[in-house]
Structure formats: structure tokens, C-alpha cells
């Protein structure tokens, strides 16, 4: 039975308005997906009018519920709901759907409009990001205050979302952790772009999610009472909930309902007119919002203001009781760091011996964690190898929200969960795996860069130098691939102290994600009394050792190969040649420097340049020019001790010397 405070006639009028706004926008754009917004309109209506806690006038209120449209192709559903609910989204922008410069993009883009919680489009990503948001909410509830952070994460999912592997990884983790603040609604419409889902998808979804540990409900997608009651029950369940709604794509379209034609193309002028007539609307009118509907949905503004006012009043009361605890979170939520947050970072003594950069990273990370209480993360089951464990901190388990997260062997979900944690106010998330397995998490890394959020990736075992595990574990093209991602800062430090500085830069970078690329093998710690300070890493590249006399050649390297460049430079200098070594740990940081600085490090008139990196050569031409050389990998690695492999593939000081001599025609 429908609750007495829900007017069936007004609800139906509002739902039809959502459907037709969506269909009109897709038709006007001559591009888009009308079918899913039309089928999902009842669910969207119930969420935005009855269940979601949100404040349209302050969309970033931290205590709000989060809504994720995981099936991002249904973006007009979200835009219609945001417009009707009082967000800053005028009707004119619905008419500009998918047009250049309009915030109503083809898929929801984080930062383009208030009310868009994360960028969705690649299916399954929104589903998995929501798991990270739910984990973030639980951690804030436990570490700051349960009453303030009891918000829920709602998501709307499609068949495509559930087919993608990332959703399986994330659902498994969510069920294991018992994330009862997740309420997901699945549009079970039996249709994909190619036709009926039976072409490729016949599994029993409910059984799979029961096995994951989720609570399952089944409802009819047009039955408001069933949907409403199922959502209410989901709120009370300690498990994550999946509500399976049997829906009909293109609901209301006389000839295209339940067909693949309603999925990825406009209904067409005639079908749209017939749909409007079938719904009792003027077939000739477009973008119509009845005043009764506008007034009804506008109630969200006053309701949201009251919810936020109550929340902020409670925050002020709790602040008075325990100012230190709440001030720590507020400072972090505003993007500020405690005074002296980086004063206790380790400084490594060359006399203490060689050290792998992955080990130095772990020591730096733990020093930072002691000063930054909302720094949290873990590894895809590789913490002992990645050195990502926070010593003395508890694990994130079903019973306790600690700062050590065990992602399991789920790299793809880890990347997406990190995005959800990064969306949580105040949190600084990191995640680790081997560099070779960064391939598994590229989609969420790209989305983090696109959104401008700042998870930190700890990628170890960075080259053939890892040795006996062989070519399946030895990364070759991964560095070039990561460097190709706009707004992703990649840093490959050459020693322990550069690694510390790499962590400093990663924490300071709040404009996008950072990838720290670290080695397994031990490397000498450079004597900074002899070489420039490691803080020069912040410039991305710097002259590590200057030439003696006239500059004749430049050796450029990153990571472990910097030490080979230094050996080669010493031999060439003894031959009377003017050679400098440039440490270039981060192309992105280097390219951000003024041209005068970059030209000072790599003078244009010195065209004999040799780059050395145990990875693919792709991209190095920008630094070596057409008269230089790159000592790099042209194939895959092999299984043997790391030192043997480096020699076998030409990563020796002697080979570098030979290359320079050849280019100087000596």
C-alpha cells in the first residue's frame, strides 16, 4: 500500500514529467539514451522526493546522502531530477543537453554540476565508487561521530553495470565488510544495445549477490508502494542491499518500449508525439513542467535546509564538547594539513647502506600517517611487498573501520574504491600493488585524473630489476602508459631521499592523482652533501651532477637507472668529456616548470642526449631529440636475477659510455 502522504496522481504526473523531460532533451540533441531514464523515473522520483537526504542550496553539505547514477548513459534522468529538485540547473541547460559548453554532458561529469557525486559512464565504475564512499562514511562515523556521518549511498545500476567485472570485485568486498549503508537499485529490463540480455547474460543475479552477503529485494518497477517499502527495509538492514526492479526500457513509448531501439537513440519525432499522447500530454509541447509538479518537487529545498540546519547545530554542539576531535576533521575536510605535518619525515644517511625505494616509501608513509589522521589505505593483498601497512593501526574489518584496508586481490575495485574514499571529505586514500598490475586499475585511475581527485598509487617492482618472477611481472610499457594520462602525476624516484620527497609531492597534490613508481632492489642513497638536495624532486627534474668544462652530452634517467648514469658520467669525465647527469623522476612536475628552468636543465644547444630507463622508450623523444639515444626495453623481460637481467638488456655504465661516444663520433 502507498503511504498516505504520497499522492498517487501527483506522483504519476511528476514521474511522467521526468520521463518526457528526458525524452525531449535526447530528441533535441539528436543523441543520447531515452529508454533508461523513462523506465527509471519512478525510482528516481521516490529517491529524490522521499528517501534521499540532500540540500539543493548547499549540495556539498557533508551529512547528505549520496546518489550515484552508475548507468551514466541515463544522464538525463539525473539532470531532470536535479532541475526539478531545485539544484542550480536551469531548464535551458536541459535543452542544451550534450552541447559544447553545457554542463549537461552526455554522461554525468563530476564538477560540472552540483549534485553529481562522481563521474560515471564506463559501466561498473559508479557501482564500485559507491563502495568506497560507503567505507569512507563508516570510517568518519567511527572516528568522528556516528550521528553526523550516518549517511547512505544510493546507486542506480543497469545490466551492464552488473556484467562488468569491477562490480563483482566491489560487491564482494562490500558484502564482506557488511556495508549496510549501501542501497543499490538494479534496473532489470532484459535489454542491452544488441538486443535481449539473454544473448549474453543469463545468470541469477539475486543468487550471486546473496552469496556475496547482500540483502536482496524484488519489486515491480512501476509499483511505487513496493519500491518505497523495499527502500525502507534496505535502510534498516545491516547488509548492503540490492533491490532488483523489473522495469521496461522506454516505459510509455507505444512502439519502442521493451526494445533495444529505446536504448541508445532518440525515440524519433513521431514516437515521441505518440508517447506524449499516451501519457495524456500535449503531443506538440516540449520541456513542459506543470506548476503542480514544480511546487511538489520544490519542497526538497525547504526540507534540505532543515536537515542541514539540524546537522550543523549538532556539529556545533559536539565541537563545544570535544573541539580537538572535530577540528582535526574540519581542517582535513577543508583541505588543510596540521602544522608541521611534514617535519618528521625521515632523512636517510648514505652511510647506512643501500635501500629499496619501496622500503623508503613505507617509512615515509608511516611518518606521514602519524601526522595525518585521515590518511588511510592499503594494498591489493601485497602490503608486505608494497610496504603499505600503517604500523600500529587497526585493519578495516566488518567490525571496525581501521586505517589499514585489505582490498584483496581486486586491483580494479581498489582503484574505484580509492575514488570513493577520495570523494569523502577529509580523507587521503592510497592503494598499492605491483606496477605491472596497474593495468588492472587503469579505468578508475583515468577517472580520478578526469575528475581532479587525488588518490595516491604506490606501484612497486617497477622494472626488470625485480628479477626472477619473469616477464609476466616485469613492467615495460606501464610507465609510458601512465605518463600518457593527463592530470596524473607520475614520480619515479632514484633513491630513498627522493622517495620521501615524492611522498611530500603526492600529499600536496590536491589537483589529481599521483603514482609513485618504486623499485624492489636496493639502491645507493646519494650523499646530498655532494649532490643537490632531494627536495629538487619537486621540480620534476634537476641537474644531479654538472659537467666539467664545456657541456658535450647529457645523461637523463629516472629511478634505479640514475645510478648507472652517474657511473657512466664518471667514466666519461675521466676521458675529458663534459657530461652532466639529470635526474628526471617526474615528467609532469618538470613540464610544469618555467621554460627558462627547463632549458637550464636541458640546454637546447646540447643535442647529444642519452636517456636511460628500464622501460619502453615511448615518449623519451621529447627529451633526447633527433640526435639523441634512448637505452630502454624494446621487448619483454626474462626470468633471472635482477642484476643479470640489467646487464643482459644493456643497462650498464659501459653501454651508456659507448652510446655517448658513438653520438660524439669518438
- Does one domain contain both 573 and 505? no
If one counts the domains in the chain, the total is 3
Is the separation of the CB atoms in 120 and 108 below 8 Å?
yes
- Does one domain contain both 415 and 558? no
- Does one domain contain both 199 and 277? yes
As a whole number of angstroms, the distance between CA 659 and CA 535 comes to 30
Q: Band of the pLDDT at 593, cuts 50, 70, 90?
A: very high
- Does one domain contain both 395 and 280? no
Residue 323: inside a domain: no
Residue 187: inside a domain: yes
Residue 410: inside a domain: yes
Is 270 assigned a catalytic role? no
Can you give the CATH number for the domain in which 270 is found? 3.40.50.970
Q: Please say which residue of 306, 334, 365 terminates a domain.
A: 306
Which pLDDT tens digit goes with each residue over 329-341? 999 999 999 999 9
State the residue range of the domain holding 645.
538-663
φ, ψ at 543 (rounded to 5°): -75, 115
- Does one domain contain both 493 and 564? no
Can you give the CATH number for the domain in which 623 is found? 3.40.50.920
As a whole number of angstroms, the distance between CA 230 and CA 569 comes to 70
Q: Band of the pLDDT at 627, cuts 50, 70, 90?
A: confident
Which pLDDT tens digit goes with each residue over 58-89? 999 999 999 999 999 999 999 999 999 999 99
Is the separation of the CB atoms in 326 and 144 below 8 Å?
yes
Task: Exactly one of 411, 498, 561, 588 is catalytic; name it.
Answer: 411
| CA neighbor of 515 nearest in space, from 428, 456, 461 | 456
Q: Please say which residue of 463, 488, 517 terminates a domain.
A: 517
Average pLDDT score over residue span 211-230: 98
Which pLDDT tens digit goes with each residue over 420-452? 999 999 999 999 999 999 999 999 999 999 999
Q: Which three cell numbers stand for residue 436?
A: 605491472
As a whole number of angstroms, the distance between CA 422 and CA 426 comes to 8
Q: Band of the pLDDT at 6, cuts 50, 70, 90?
A: confident
Residue 467: inside a domain: yes
- Does one domain contain both 231 and 129? yes
Residue 2 pLDDT: 54
Is the separation of the CB atoms in 593 and 543 below 8 Å?
no
- Does one domain contain both 150 and 218? yes
Q: Which three cell numbers stand for residue 632?
A: 630502454
Residue 447 pLDDT: 98
- Does one domain contain both 277 and 418? no
Residue 409: inside a domain: yes
As a whole number of angstroms, the distance between CA 15 and CA 80 comes to 10
| CA neighbor of 312 nearest in space, from 558, 143, 112, 145 | 145
Residue 476: inside a domain: yes
- Between 85 and 665, name the one with better pLDDT: 85
Average pLDDT score over residue span 402-425: 98
What average pLDDT does the structure give for the chain?
97
pLDDT > 90: percent of the chain: 98
- Does one domain contain both 546 and 423? no
Q: Quick one: which H or E segment has residue 434?
A: strand 428-434
Q: Band of the pLDDT at 547, cuts 50, 70, 90?
A: very high
- Does one domain contain both 280 and 398? no
Residue 1 has pLDDT above 70, yes or no: no
- Does one domain contain both 402 and 502? yes
Q: Please say which residue of 517, 551, 571 terminates a domain.
A: 517
Residue 380 has pLDDT above 50, yes or no: yes
Residue 3 pLDDT: 66
Residue 186: inside a domain: yes
- Does one domain contain both 409 and 360? yes
Q: Which residue has the cell 661516444?
A: 661
Any alpha helices (H) in 217-290, and if so which ranges?
224-236, 269-278
Which pLDDT tens digit goes with each residue over 225-264? 999 999 999 999 999 999 999 999 999 999 999 999 999 9
Amino acid at each position: 500500500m502507498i503511504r498516505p502522504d504520497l499522492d498517487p496522481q501527483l506522483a504519476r504526473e511528476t514521474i511522467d514529467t521526468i520521463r518526457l523531460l528526458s525524452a525531449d532533451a535526447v530528441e533535441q540533441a539528436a543523441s543520447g539514451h531515452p529508454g533508461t531514464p523513462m523506465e527509471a523515473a519512478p525510482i528516481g522520483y521516490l529517491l529524490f522526493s522521499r528517501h534521499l537526504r540532500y540540500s539543493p542550496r548547499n549540495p556539498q553539505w557533508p551529512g547528505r546522502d549520496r546518489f550515484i547514477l552508475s548507468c551514466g548513459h541515463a544522464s538525463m534522468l539525473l539532470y531532470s531530477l536535479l532541475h526539478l529538485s531545485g539544484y542550480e540547473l536551469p531548464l535551458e541547460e536541459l535543452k542544451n543537453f550534450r552541447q559544447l559548453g553545457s554542463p549537461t554532458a552526455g554522461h554525468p561529469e563530476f564538477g560540472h554540476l552540483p549534485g553529481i557525486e562522481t563521474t560515471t559512464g564506463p559501466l561498473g565504475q559508479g557501482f564500485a565508487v559507491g563502495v568506497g564512499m560507503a567505507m569512507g562514511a563508516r570510517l568518519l562515523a567511527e572516528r568522528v561521530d556516528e550521528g553526523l556521518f550516518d549517511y547512505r549511498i544510493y546507486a542506480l545500476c543497469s545490466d551492464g553495470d552488473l556484467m562488468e567485472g569491477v562490480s563483482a570485485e566491489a560487491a564482494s568486498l562490500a558484502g564482506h565488510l557488511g556495508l549496510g549503508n549501501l542501497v543499490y537499485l538494479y534496473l532489470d529490463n532484459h535489454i542491452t544495445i544488441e538486443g535481449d540480455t539473454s544473448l549474453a547474460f543469463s545468470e541469477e543475479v539475486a543468487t550471486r549477490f546473496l552469496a556475496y552477503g547482500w540483502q536482496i529485494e524484488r519489486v515491480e518497477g512501476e509499483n511505487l508502494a513496493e519500491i518505497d517499502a523495499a527502500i525502507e527495509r534496505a535502510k534498516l538492514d545491516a547488509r548492503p542491499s540490492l533491490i532488483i526492479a523489473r522495469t521496461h526500457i522506454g516505459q510509455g513509448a507505444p512502439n519502442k518500449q521493451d526494445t533495444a531501439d529505446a536504448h541508445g537513440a532518440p525515440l524519433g519525432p513521431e514516437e515521441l508525439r505518440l508517447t506524449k499522447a499516451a501519457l495524456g500530454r500535449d503531443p506538440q509541447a516540449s520541456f513542459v513542467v506543470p506548476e503542480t509538479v514544480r511546487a511538489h518537487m520544490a519542497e526538497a529545498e525547504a526540507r534540505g535546509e532543515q536537515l542541514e540546519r539540524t546537522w550543523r547545530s549538532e556539529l556545533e554542539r559536539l565541537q563545544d564538547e570535544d573541539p580537538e576531535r572535530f577540528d582535526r576533521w574540519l581542517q582535513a575536510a577543508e583541505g588543510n594539513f596540521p602544522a608541521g605535518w611534514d617535519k618528521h619525515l625521515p632523512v636517510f644517511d648514505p652511510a647506512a647502506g643501500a635501500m629499496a625505494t619501496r622500503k623508503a616509501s613505507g617509512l615515509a608513509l608511516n611518518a606521514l600517517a602519524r601526522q595525518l589522521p585521515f590518511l588511510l589505505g592499503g594494498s591489493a593483498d601485497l602490503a608486505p611487498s608494497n610496504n603499505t601497512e600503517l604500523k600500529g593501526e587497526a585493519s578495516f574489518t566488518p567490525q571496525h573501520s581501521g586505517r589499514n584496508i585489505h582490498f584483496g586481490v581486486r586491483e580494479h575495485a581498489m582503484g574505484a574504491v580509492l575514488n570513493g574514499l577520495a570523494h569523502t571529505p577529509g580523507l587521503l586514500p592510497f592503494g598499492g600493488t605491483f606496477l605491472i598490475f596497474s593495468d588492472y586499475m587503469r579505468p578508475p585511475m583515468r577517472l580520478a585524473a578526469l575528475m581532479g581527485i587525488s588518490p595516491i598509487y604506490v606501484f612497486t617492482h617497477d622494472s626488470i630489476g625485480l628479477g626472477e618472477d619473469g616477464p609476466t611481472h616485469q613492467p615495460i610499457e606501464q610507465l609510458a602508459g601512465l605518463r600518457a594520462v593527463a592530470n596524473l602525476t607520475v614520480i619515479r624516484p632514484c633513491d630513498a631521499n627522493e622517495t620521501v620527497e615524492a611522498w611530500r609531492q603526492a600529499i600536496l597534490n590536491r589537483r589529481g592523482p599521483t603514482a609513485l613508481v618504486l623499485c624492489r632492489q636496493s639502491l645507493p642513497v646519494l650523499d646530498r652533501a655532494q649532490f643537490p638536495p632531494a627536495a629538487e624532486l619537486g621540480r620534476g627534474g634537476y641537474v644531479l651532477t654538472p659537467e666539467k668544462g664545456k657541456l658535450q652530452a647529457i645523461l637523463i634517467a629516472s629511478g634505479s637507472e640514475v645510478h648507472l648514469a652517474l657511473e657512466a658520467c664518471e667514466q666519461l669525465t675521466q676521458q675529458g668529456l663534459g657530461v652532466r647527469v639529470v635526474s628526471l623522476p617526474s615528467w609532469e612536475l618538470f613540464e610544469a616548470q618555467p621554460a627558462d628552468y627547463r632549458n637550464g636543465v636541458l640546454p637546447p644547444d646540447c643535442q647529444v642526449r642519452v636517456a636511460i630507463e628500464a622501460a619502453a622508450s615511448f615518449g623519451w623523444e621529447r627529451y633526447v631529440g633527433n640526435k639523441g639515444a634512448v637505452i630502454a626495453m624494446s621487448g619483454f623481460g626474462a626470468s633471472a636475477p635482477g642484476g643479470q637481467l640489467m646487464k643482459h638488456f644493456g643497462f650498464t655504465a659501459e653501454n651508456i659510455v659507448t652510446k655517448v661516444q658513438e653520438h660524439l663520433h669518438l
